[in-house]
Structure 1
Amino acid sequence: MKGSILKNMQIFENIHPLRNWRRLMVREEKLIGFVPTMGSLHEGHLSLIKQANKLCKAVAVSIFVNPAQFAPNEDLDKYPRSLSDDLAKLSAINCVDAVFLPKVEDIYPAGITLDVEKQLGTFVEVKGKSHQMEGQSRPTFFRGVATVVTKLFNIVQPDHVFFGQKDIQQCAVIKNLIRDLHFPLELHVGPTLREEDGLAMSSRNKYLTPEMRKVAAILYQSLNAVKHAFEQNIRDRKNLLAPAYDLIENKSKFIKDQNLDFSIKLDYLSLADPESLQELDEVGENGAILSGALYIGTTRILDNLLLNCKI
Structure 2
Amino acid sequence: MTSEGAVFDLGYEQYRGPRLSDRQVFWRMVIDGLKKSVGIGKRARNKAFPFSLVALAILPALGVVVIQVVAKIFGLPLSGDVLLDDREYFDWTSQLIFFFVAVAVPNLLIPDRVENVLLVYTSRPPTINTYLVARLVAMAISVGVFLMIPQLVLLIGEALISPSFFGHLADNLAFWWRVPLTSFAYLAVNVGVAALVAAYINNRGAAIAIYIIGVNVLNGVGIGLSSINEYFSLLSIQFWPTRIRDWVFGVNTLDDFPGADLPIVAVLATTIAFLILAVALILRRYRKLI
TM-score (norm 1): 0.25
Q: Which has the larger radius of gyration?
A: 2
**Greater per-residue helix proportion:** 2
Between the two structures, name the one with larger relative contact order (CA 8 Å, sep ≥ 6): 2
TM-score (norm 2): 0.26
**Greater per-residue strand proportion:** 1
